[in-house]
Amino acid sequence: MNEAELKNILEKIMINNPNSYPKDASSDLLKVTENELVDMGYKYKRVKRKYNKGYFLNIYDDENFLFKFVKGSYPNNSKLGWNICNDKLLTEKFLKKANIKTPDTKIFTEDEYGKALEHIRSDSNIKYVIKPTNLMQALGAFLDVTIENFETSWHDSIAIQKKYKRKQPKILVQNQISGLEVRISVIEGKVTTATLRGPAYIIGDGKNTIKELITKRNEERKLNPFLRTNLIKFNDELDYNLAYRNKDLNTVLNKDEYFILYPRTGIAHGRDMYEITHLINPNILHQAYEATLAIPGIHTAGVDIIIEDLDSHEGTVIEVNKTPALQLNYYPEYGVSQRPLSYIFKSLILEHKILNDTLLLENLSEEDYNIISTKYNFLFEKNKRLESFLLNLNDPSEHKNSHSELTSIGFKYLYHHGKMLEQFIGEQINIK
């Protein structure tokens, strides 16, 4: 993304003033969860974790235990789904099996530098992304990698992995997909929101230096519960980015001049986030839904998609995140605040009652019926894909019984049958 593209996007997004939030609002996932449970009228108890710091929540309906909620772990995302999402090549395999557009990926160990270099040389007309396979927040990731800067990027990424005590560093190499990075949340089979991840930037006023503008921008970020924990940093990388464009912290930008401080959009680089669901083509949202269907054992996900621009009809899925930070959806700087945790607990509680024969479908409100019907349809489609994977079918639409009607018995069958299929697939691909 360049400054002209950024300006064009922001003009579409910033049609109103920035959202305002209570000063004491928390962006901690468990605290946001507790607020939602109180609002929904469900009891919970904090339980201290045995081997890690912090706590998890036991959730109750009156005095009846429902399930536990662990930070960063959504109950219906299974171990199989976690392991697939942690393996970039395996994720890519399932996405491509479902005909979902995704980059080509290669993974190399530290002693395979020569093989990696030959891979880069095989198509010198494109740019690559290299990054560790096991670090988060864009640590050790490098964009715009070519044959000219590959050696430096490789060794820097290896060094960062060793700094974070990764005993067997590995480098993931992908063809770089240029465009806008959008995180689409899929909650228990329902697409809920699309969030644009924008690079840290400032706008010149013809008076203040870049340093002063960053300080001012950080003061604005402190008003947002999520952004206040990820301020724009002053560091060597920023100095390098400025020097590369013949600027420094004392440079005064022209009035209304947009300037991107960090080209990457990682949390560590002070990225901005905007809710843009209404601006995204429905086909892009459906891609995220299909990507979530494609990964066995994943029911709630943050799907990262690169699109060329806001008018795009198709994107490229670059990641299916099994532990999306759903609290960010509560605090967009611009756009509509969402409540995905409320939806996920409504769905999980209805599911629990159906599985335990404590709920009659005919007694459901219209809202609850729509929630559980959405999950039922998701389970039905996911199971078709699980069975298609096992049977090596190319088109899930060829599967028999392409339509089914919601019943309690049918719901329980799909739920338990899906778990059985996940276990069997895990055994076949040696993931326990």
pLDDT in tens, 68-91: 999 888 989 999 999 999 888 899
pLDDT in tens, 282-316: 999 999 999 999 999 999 999 999 999 999 999 99
- Is the pLDDT at 432 greater than 60? The verdict is no
User: Which amino acid makes up residue 401?
Assistant: N
Question: Is the model's pLDDT at 36 over the cut of 60?
Answer: yes
Structure tokens given for 293: 């269907």
Angle at 95 between CA 388 and CA 322, to 5 degrees: 105
Identify the bridge partners of residue 259 per DSSP, sorted by sequence position.
202
Q: What letters, b where the CB count within 10 A reaches 16 and e where it falls short, cover 360-391? A: eeeebeeebeebbebbbbbbbbbbbbbbbbee
Q: Which pLDDT value is given to residue 266?
A: 67
Distance CA 338, CA 275 (A): 9
At 144-188, the pLDDT tens digits run 899 999 999 999 999 999 998 888 899 999 888 888 999 999 999
Query: Is the separation of the CB atoms in 227 and 333 below 8 Å?
Result: yes
Give the pLDDT confidence score for residue 62 in this predicted structure.
83
Dihedral angle over CA of 368, 371, 374, 375, nearest 10: -100
Residue 64 has pLDDT above 80, yes or no: yes
pLDDT grade, residue 411 (50/70/90)? Answer: confident
Segment (H or E) for 242: helix 236-244
pLDDT of residue 201: 92
Residue 293 has a CB neighbour count (10 Å cut-off) of 23
pLDDT (0 to 100) of residue 14? 85
Q: Which of 421, 34, 95 is nearest to 287 (CA)?
A: 95
All CATH 3.30.470.20 domain ranges of the chain, comma separated, are 76-102+179-199+273-431
> How distant, in Å, are the alpha carbons of 409, 426, 431 from that of 422?
20, 6, 10
- Is residue 352's pLDDT more than 60? yes
Query: Which ranges in 41-188 belong to alpha helices (H)?
Result: 79-86, 88-97, 113-121, 150-163
The DSSP result for 31-73, as a single string, is HHHHHHHHHHT-EEEEEE-SSSSSEEEEEEETTEEEEEEBTTB
Nearby residues of 354 by Cβ (< 8 Å), 6 or more positions away: 361, 372, 408, 411, 412
418 Cβ neighbours under 8 A, 6+ residues apart? 379, 382, 383, 386
> What pLDDT sits at residue 349?
92
Asked whether the predicted pLDDT for residue 122 surpasses 70, the reply is: yes
Average confidence score pLDDT of the chain: 89
- Residue 211: pLDDT above 90? yes
Reported as type and span, the H/E element at residue 359 is none
Rounded to 10 degrees, what is the CA torsion of 326, 199, 223, 242? 150
The average pLDDT across 190-202 equals 93
| pLDDT for residue 136 | 67
Q: Where in the chain is the domain with CATH 3.30.1490.20?
A: 104-176
**Dihedral sign of CA atoms 371, 374, 378, 384 in order:** positive
The residue written with tokens 């009156």 in the block is 62
Asked if residues 325 and 317 have their Cβ atoms less than 8 Å apart, the reply is no
Burial class (CB in 10 A: 0-12, 13-18, 19+), 82: middle
At residue 245, the pLDDT reads: 92
User: How many Å apart are CA 41 and CA 38, to the nearest integer?
Assistant: 5
Q: Distance from CA of residue 144 to its chain's centroid?
A: 22
pLDDT of residue 126: 86
Topology of domain 104-176, CATH: Dna Ligase; domain 1 (3.30.1490)
The predicted structure's pLDDT at residue 268: 63
Taking a C-beta distance cutoff of 8 angstroms, is the pair 267, 235 a contact? no
Q: Considering only residues 304 and 410, tell me which one the structure prediction assigns the higher pLDDT.
A: 304
**Three-state DSSP class for 102?**
coil
At 398, the pLDDT band (50, 70, 90 cuts) reads low
Query: Poorest-confidence range of 1-5, 195-199, 273-277, 395-399?
Result: 395-399
Superfamily of domain 76-102+179-199+273-431: ATP-grasp fold, B domain (3.30.470.20)
Flag the least confident range among 51-65, 129-143, 246-260, 286-300.
129-143
Q: Quick one: pLDDT band at residue 428, thresholds 50, 70, 90?
A: confident
Closest Cα partner for 144 from 128, 162, 159?
Answer: 128
pLDDT at 374: 96
Q: List the one residue out of 423, 432, 398, 189 whose CA is nearest residue 296.
A: 423
